[in-house]
């Protein structure tokens, strides 16, 4: 099965940054590091809100599984 191609909750860079509690420049840095997945086109970046919320939850010590049951990450299988 190929990797996820469609974000669960697509948001632009600014909203993704707000959700994660970081600056948009940090979002772009994470993309270049491969920390998060960038969707959308070359001219318009789209991110998965759920992915950003999980990163924020993990950082703040909250259970990441509670972020979104629709796309809860399952152990690699
Ligand atoms: Zn989701």
pTM over 0.75: yes
The helix or strand, by DSSP H or E, that contains position 10, with its residue range, turns out to be strand 10-12
Query: Domain-by-domain residue ranges, the chain?
Result: 10-71
CA of 3 to the centre of ligand 1 (A): 15
CA of 51 to the centre of ligand 1 (A): 8
Q: Which fold has domain 10-71?
A: Multidrug-efflux Transporter Regulator; Chain: A; Domain 2 (1.10.1660)
Q: Residues, the chain, total?
A: 77
CA of 33 to the centre of ligand 1 (A): 22
CA of 72 to the centre of ligand 1 (A): 7
3-53 pLDDT, tens digit per residue, is: 557 899 999 999 999 999 999 999 999 999 999 999 999 999 999 999 999
Q: Which residues are CB-neighbours of 33 under 8 A, at least 6 positions away?
A: none
Q: What angle is formed at CA 51 by the lines to CA 49 and CA 55, rounded to 5 degrees?
A: 115
CA of 53 to the centre of ligand 1 (A): 9
């Amino acid at each position: 099965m190929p990797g996820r191609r469609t974000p669960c909750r697509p948001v632009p860079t600014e909203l993704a940054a707000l959700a994660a509690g970081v600056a948009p420049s940090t979002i772009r840095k994470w993309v270049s590091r491969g920390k998060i997945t960038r969707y959308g086109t070359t001219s318009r970046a789209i991110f998965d809100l759920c992915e950003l919320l999980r990163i924020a939850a993990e950082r703040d010590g909250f259970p990441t599984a509670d972020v979104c049951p629709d796309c809860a990450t399952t152990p690699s299988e």
